[in-house]
Chain A
Amino acid sequence: MSLTTLENYFLPGSGGEVVQLLQEYGERAMILAGGSFVHGLAARNLLPGVDVFIDIQKLGLADIVAGSGGLEIGAMARLADLASVSEIREDAAWGALSDALRCPPVQIMNTATVGGNIAAACPYFDLPTAFLAIGASVRTEGSSGSREIDLEDFFTGLFENSLAQEEFLTGVALSRPEPGSASAFVKLETNANDLAIVNAAVHMTVDESGACQAARVALGGGVNEIPLRSAAAEKLLTGQVITDELPAKVGQAVQADISPMADHRASAEYRSAMASVLTERALRSAIARMTGGN
């Protein structure tokens, strides 16, 4: 598809209309949120047959609401809106998210939406990895109503997600973290407007004895076709008292769960080596946050 051959452009005012249009146009239709990835997809022939845009900016869905249960983020909230939420900036438990939100260039921060960053199911984006580590679910609306999907079950393949044909994403839900939690995110990139070659995020909850009670370790950026959690690393971390040697071991452990891709940006070997280095660095950074650093 090329933008100049677009057949139709809709600006629906309700979720119901969106679902109807998705039903009507099927594979020809694409949801347009911030629009920041459209060129990227089109230029790589990743939008074959698409010639109808359904722009969802009229739906609202841009609020970010903090409640006792956690945070409800509208799909159309811009990355910059999310970055300005004080709880995200200040709570060490959500540190991974604020780290990730420091990566995109300012133009992308102001145009890209949280929903678009997730729905694109691009393994090289940063928010999916951070959200996987801190724990998140997505909310959707479709022909059979709305549902909530655990983020881990959302990504199904390279640029593929578990949304049904006539279903779209309405928001992301974060639950309130346990006390004694901290998280951090690290990204490897070539320049400041690059997508991740590899990224990694670690979230941990530590009890009073200094032992890790619960941990989530997530990786993205081509360590697999989808961003994923490393069960091996999490298992190794859980129950351990934090020592200086531990981060390197946890970093090594992710090797059991990744199967890196090779492309013109990095070889599989390099991605594999970096997955360990970045996991270790993310863990060290989370530990520093836990112990009062930032």
Chain B
Amino acid sequence: MTSSTTSTTVLGKSVQRPDALDKVTGGKHYPVNVTLPGMLHAKLLRSPYPHARITGIDASAAAKLPGVKAVLLPQDVPQRKYCPVYFVPTLAPSMVQDMLIMSDTVRYAGQPVAAVAATTAAIAEQALELIEVDYEELPAVFDADAAMAEGAPQIHEGAENNIAVNPVVAFGDAEAAFEKADHIFEGVYETQRVHTCYMEPRVCVVDSDTGGNLTVHSSMQHLFGLREKLAFVLGMPESKVRVIKPAYIGGGFGGKLDIGYIEPVAALLSLKTGRPVRIEQTRYEDFISTTRNPIRVYLKTGISKDGRFVARYAESTLDCGAHATHGAEVINVHGMFGILLTYPCPDQHWEGKTVYTNNMIGGGYRGYGSPQGAFAVESQIDEICEELGFDPVEFRLKNSYHQGDPHPFNPQAKLDSYRFQDCLTQAAERIGWSSRKAAGSDQGVKKRGIGLGCQPIWVSGCVGFPDIYEHSGAIVKLNRDGTADLSTAAVDLGSGQITTLCMIAAEELGLEADQVRMTYADTDTVPFDAPSHASRVTYSSGNAVKAAAGQARQRLLEVAGGLLEASPDDLEVCEGMVRVKGSPDSQISVVDVVTRAESPFVVMTEEGPQPTNLEEKGTIIGLSSMAPPANPSPATVEFVEVEVDTETGQVKILRVVFAHDLGKLIHPAGAEGQVEGGFQQGMGYALMENLLFDPDSGACLSSDFLDYKMPTAVEMPPKIESIFIESNEPTGPFGAKSLSEPCVTVPAPAIANAIYNAVGVRVRELPITPEKILAGLGKL
């Protein structure tokens, strides 16, 4: 039915990325390179204590240091609580407003307590050492369970037992269903705190003018969110805040979704001094600014004799650290897309808790709660299969949703383009699943094993059911040389949004990919766009770009129709010409049409110069501002082959096969790159990444990449194979849905399952370090 794909001329080709050359020659347009005349540099003083009240600050010596232009203390900061997250209105009740910038209570080690702007970063840093802060230390707690226990230190007023939010979602009657189950499995699965490790640090330059207007350059994922939060925090009208869209940023992965403290602090310092103020975080500061929340999941599953899910119960405890930030939304996405909606099961009950501790704050991170859920769900499925003798692939096939089923989250919609089963069977065949050995049966010191992990249901944007709050907009303007300019607020995080959106516009306009250029945008000049988050840009922004390009194309055909004396409906755009379909001689170039439409034009004739008789005049332009029609679900399956050294516990990844149900494949090389990067993050999460903290002081012990270990090119497998299984998503631009997050979610369970298959050791706590494997083998 919807498995055949739309035929296209531009889409499906690995065209060169327009930003590629710029980036490999230094990337001068990264926000980190923004400098403005007279710019000051600011540094933040951070609390050494995890929980304390500030009883006094003396910054007089710092203010006198030559070169220091302004000092910012908590009393200079409007004490306006805010939630740094942009999210769908349906989750408004779960959003928590906190005082995030500087307040007189410190809730985590490293929280900013003062800032200095000076002519150089070195002077600013020196000045910080001259600020004297008196702290009254308060008792601190670093464990979510301990924080919920009676007598624990209260971290935020009004949060009973330090619980920020406590969602409960149930379908059917899980308790009764467990009674009927033939087998019951339970387990606790734990994940750690990790950082996205974007390459470009968080950095901003904020300038102000005499009218109190702000201009903001920042390495972040959401133009309009930054404007909204910044205006709110500073108590200013939004129209006084202009956020410039960076040409691209050096990675975000959700870690730059927070509208954190650097922009408000730089803004206040700029308003104080009348000069542009720059703040660039060190890697250490980045480590303590935003992380993927650790979640502990207790998962209980009831299974029937014939291997079907009968009942499920889960409790998830999320340690959000000192402020809720994204933790209140992550827990919901985790519960729904990480656990409840993964496979059909009639009777389910889930409880989530987002708990305050004096740990550093969490944030957004690719997958947004799903990796923590998938690690539990997909690990446990393999445990069930091992115990009951089911084949893990067959078991998942039997227990999954099918194309045409009602969407599990939004029953009014259907899983029209869903191809999860094809993903499973094709990837299983590619990896050689049928020749998989029994767990632990490989011989020798180094043992090999195969495992899989799935993300059966994911999103193409946030799920704002029943409405889809993923608004996007675009402007497409045709130039007189036959090219087009595209302008949108969707930020390219490095994952190729520029390329994809230009390709979609080109396809719609009948141009070549390199004839569409992504051009300047800021919050004053383009329509609203939701953040580059939630696997949404290709689908949601893509739909808006297609609509704007379609409008421009329609204008082009109307004008050309007048010139060719043909109906616009009979025209097509091809190779730079507008043609009457079926009569190739009747044609006019796009250049001609655009030129004539845009400006007064005189034609030479035998009777002398004649003005054009074109009635329609004006630049050929299209504009869209709209919400996407739906939120179709993509799916991803991954198989990995590992080799475990049974003497050292070290794991080597030998082979990786992914299969993705993504709708239309737009830019094959870009899609492969997404998956390779996703696997690297997922593999790091599975095996080594871990932000470490001093258990007594709560201070972050990971100061740089000597401590924080992530896979380098050397640890990566020689090749990551991606099978892209296309279908035509009826609501997507040219049939596209999404790709970007599931490839981060599935590696941890796939690797855990492969390790089990290799050596028979089940590790339920990430990262799966060599020590845990050796302990499992009884060698430690």
Contacts and interface: CB of A to CB of B under 8 A. Distances in A.
Contact of B771 (A39, A191, A267): A267
Contact of B648 (A192, A193, A277): A277
B231 interface: no
B284 A43 contact: yes
Nearest to A5: B126
A40 B284 CA distance: 12
B195 to A, nearest CB: 15
Contacts of B710: 191
A194 B648 CA distance: 16
B125 A5 contact: yes
A273 to B, nearest CB: 6
A188 interface: yes
B121 A4 contact: yes
Contact of A266 (B647, B711, B771, B779): B771
Given A273-B774, A273-B779, A188 B701 contact: no
A194 B712 CA distance: 10
B268 to A, nearest CB: 23
A277 B645 CA distance: 11
Interface string A162-195: 0000000000000000000000000010111111
Contact of A40 (B692, B704, B771, B779): B704
Contacts of B715: 191-192
Nearest to B649: A270
A192 B779 contact: no
Nearest to B125: A4
Interface in B724-780: 770-771, 774, 779-780
A277 B704 contact: no
Contacts of B5: none
Nearest to B702: A264
A266 B648 CA distance: 12
B603 interface: no
A164 B46 CA distance: 37
Contacts of A265: 707
A59 B647 CA distance: 46
Nearest to B684: A191
Nearest to A281: B647
B122 A270 contact: no
A266 B649 CA distance: 12
Interface in B536-578: none
Contact of A43 (B647, B704, B779): B704
B706 interface: yes
Contacts of B770: 270
B647 A277 contact: yes
A264 B701 contact: yes
B286 to A, nearest CB: 13
A39 B704 contact: yes
Contact of B709 (A4, A191, A277): A191
Given A2-B125, A191-B711, A273-B779, A43 B703 contact: yes
Nearest to B701: A264
A71 to B, nearest CB: 29
B644 to A, nearest CB: 14
B712 A264 contact: no
Nearest to B706: A40
Contacts of A105: 712
B152 interface: no
A191 B125 contact: no
Nearest to B712: A192
B705 A264 contact: no
Contacts of B647: 277
A193 B122 contact: no
B688 interface: yes
Nearest to A267: B771
Contacts, number: 54
A195 B688 contact: no
Interface string A2-26: 1011000000000000000000000
Contacts of A264: 692, 701, 707
A274 interface: yes
B688 A188 contact: no
Contacts of A207: none
Nearest to A280: B647
B707 A192 contact: no
A269 to B, nearest CB: 6
B643 to A, nearest CB: 16
A265 B711 CA distance: 15
A191 B688 contact: yes
A270 B125 contact: no
Interface string A199-232: 0000000000000000000000000000000000
Choose among A40, A43, A191, A195 the residue with the greatest number of B CB atoms under 10 Å from its CB: A191
A270 B688 contact: no
Contacts of A267: 771
Interface in A259-294: 264-267, 269-270, 273-274, 277
B771 A192 contact: no
B21 interface: no
Contacts of B771: 266-267, 270
A259 B648 CA distance: 19
B714 interface: yes
Interface in B365-386: none
A190 B713 CA distance: 13
B648 A274 contact: yes
A43 B122 CA distance: 16
Contacts of A4: 121-122, 125-126
A105 B712 CA distance: 11
A270 B774 contact: yes
Interface string B119-163: 001100110000000000000000000000000000000000000
Interface string B647-675: 11010000000000000000000000000
A193 B692 contact: no
Given A190-B688, A277-B647, A44 B703 contact: yes
Contacts of A193: 705-706, 712
Contacts of B703: 43-44
A195 B705 CA distance: 11
A192 B714 contact: yes
Nearest to B713: A192
Interface in B489-527: none
B560 to A, nearest CB: 57
Nearest to A274: B648
A192 B716 CA distance: 10
Contacts of B650: 188
A5 B648 contact: no
Contact of A188 (B121, B648, B707, B713): B648
Interface in A11-54: 39-40, 43-44
Given A5-B126, A188-B648, A269 B780 contact: yes
B709 A194 contact: yes
Contacts of B713: 192
A87 B504 CA distance: 59
A180 to B, nearest CB: 29
Nearest to A269: B780
13 contacts: A2-B125, A5-B125, A5-B126, A40-B704, A44-B703, A105-B712, A191-B710, A193-B706, A265-B707, A266-B771, A270-B771, A273-B780, A277-B647
Which 6 residue pairs across A and B have the least CB separation, nearest first? Answer: A4-B122, A192-B714, A43-B703, A190-B709, A192-B712, A264-B692
Given A40-B706, A191-B715, A192-B712, 16 more contacts: A40-B704, A105-B712, A188-B648, A188-B650, A190-B688, A191-B711, A192-B713, A192-B715, A194-B706, A194-B709, A195-B706, A267-B771, A270-B770, A270-B774, A270-B780, A277-B647
